[in-house]
Amino acid sequence: MKVKIYHNSRCSKSRQTLEILKKNNCDIEIIEYLKLPPTFQELEDILGKLKYQPRDLMRKGEEVYKKENLSDINLSNSTLIEKMIANPILIERPIVVAGNKAIVGRPPEKALNII
């Protein structure tokens, strides 16, 4: 099966999820999202597949989240998506996309649900 993983090699959960995909003989496209952030449209598509609102995909413990006051409920979804693109460290990881489904690999075994 063809899958994309939005991957951060410094993250143990991301590495574990990638290993699960490899062990299950998936055709993997690895996207190092910190180096090559998703586009606005890609992020919207991922959010739709996850059935998430933008804030649901954000790492709220990151300094930039606090510094930019991204918890402000008056911020639009578009603004939040733009902030994730500008600061990809905000994006929860890993994200696995297979066809019209997506999961966040926390725990990594969740990847088994879509492959």
- Which residues are the active-site residues? 11
27-32/2-7 β-pairing: parallel
Question: In whole angstroms, what is the distance from residue 34 CA to residue 38 CA?
Answer: 9
- Residue 17's H or E segment, with its range, is helix 12-23
Helix axes 77-86, 40-50, angle to 10 degrees: 120
